[in-house]
Amino acid sequence: MRKNYFELLKNIEIDPAKELTKLKDIFSERVRVDCVRDWRSLYDFVSDNFKLYRNREKFLSLEELLEYSNNITKAFDHISRFFYYSEMYIDLLTLLKPNIYYELDAQAKCLIEQIAFVINKLNHKFQRIDGSVIVVESNTFANEAAQIASEYTSVKEALSILEYNHYANKGNITRKREILIKIAALLEPWRESLNTNDDFKDVLKCGNNNKIVAVEKLFRMYNEMNIRHNNNRQKLEGLSNQEIEVWYDKIYTMSLFVILGNDVSRILSDFKAFDVKC
C-alpha cells in the first residue's frame, strides 16, 4: 500500500553530515534586518558580540572558536560531530536577545527547530543542566528516575542521572564513574528505609500463588482500570478525566518499573555468574 505524504515524512532517513551543512547554512545565511537597514546573519551578530559570550574561554573571536571546533571534531563520527555543533550553536544563540532583531529571531528559531528534529530522529533530546543545554540520549527510564529523584534532592543532582546519557560520555568510563558515584550518594539516604519498607517489599515479593505481586497487580490495573476491557468490573467509571489521567500516569510508571525490573533480573543473573567466577 502506498504511504501518504505525512507517513513518508515520518520515515525520512537522516544523514548527519548533510544536516550539519544545513545548520551551518542557516547560521551564516544573511537576511534583511529592517531596523538596521542591512543584511545580517546569526554569524554576523554572534561575531560582533563574541566577547560577551559567557563560554568563550580563551577564544577572542568566533572565527577562532570555529577553527578550533573544526579541528577538534575531525576525528568524530558524523553523529557526534552533529551533536557537538548543535550544542555549540544553541549556546552561541544565548547572545541573541529576543525581539531586538525580529528577522534574526526567526533564523534562530529555524536553527533550533532543525536541530531538535534531527536529534529526535537520532533518539536524542535537549536537556538543560546547570545553565547549559546539552544533547542526551532519550531514555524513558532515566527521565522518570530523574523526575522522582528531584523530589528528594536538588534538581541539579537529580539531573546527573540524565547527564550519564550525554553523547560525549560514550566510552568515557571516568566520567560515567563520577556520575554513578553521585547517583550512589543520592540513593544512600534511601537505603535503610527501602530495606525496612513493607510496601516496597510487597512490590518485589511473591504472593500466595507464587507470582510477583507487582506484576500481577499491574495486569489487574490493565484489565480493571478502563484500559483493555469495557465491562462491569472496571474501576474508573464515574471519575473525571483528570482523575483518570492521574491513574493512567501511575499505571505508566508501574509499567516502566516492570519493564526495567525485567532488565534488572538479567543484570542480577549476570552478576551472580560473574560473582561465582571471582
pLDDT one-digit tens code per residue, 36-80: 789 999 999 999 999 999 999 999 999 999 999 999 999 999 999
Determine the Cα–Cα distance for residues 104 and 197; give it in Å rounded to an integer. Answer: 56
- pLDDT > 60? residue 113: yes
What pLDDT shows up at residue 5? 62
All residues at 6 or more sequence positions from 116 whose CB lies less than 8 Å from its CB, including other chains: 125, 126
What pLDDT shows up at residue 207? 67
What pLDDT shows up at residue 148? 77
- The answer to whether 76 and 84 have CB atoms below 8 angstroms apart is yes
- pLDDT > 70? residue 183: yes
What pLDDT shows up at residue 106? 92
What pLDDT shows up at residue 10? 65
- The answer to whether 27 and 111 have CB atoms below 8 angstroms apart is yes
Determine the Cα–Cα distance for residues 116 and 268; give it in Å rounded to an integer. Answer: 37
- pLDDT > 90? residue 226: no
Q: What is the pTM of this model?
A: 0.68
Helix and strand numbers (H, E) in the chain are: 14, 4
pLDDT one-digit tens code per residue, 133-161: 899 888 777 777 777 777 777 777 777 77
Please compute, for residue 277, the number of CA atoms within 13 A of its CA located in the half-sphere on the CB side.
6
Taking residues 251-258, report their average pLDDT.
80
Higher pLDDT, 52 or 242: 52
What pLDDT shows up at residue 202? 67
Give the lowest-confidence range in 67-76, 107-116, 261-270: 261-270
Neighbours of 13 (CB within 10 A): 5
What pLDDT shows up at residue 203? 66
Task: Please give the grid coordinates belonging to residue 201.
Answer: 517489599
Say what percent of the chain tops pLDDT 70. Answer: 93
Give the lowest-confidence range in 4-18, 89-103, 167-181: 4-18
Taking residues 226-243, report their average pLDDT.
86
Minimal CA–CA distance to 125: which of 91, 170, 171, 86? Answer: 86
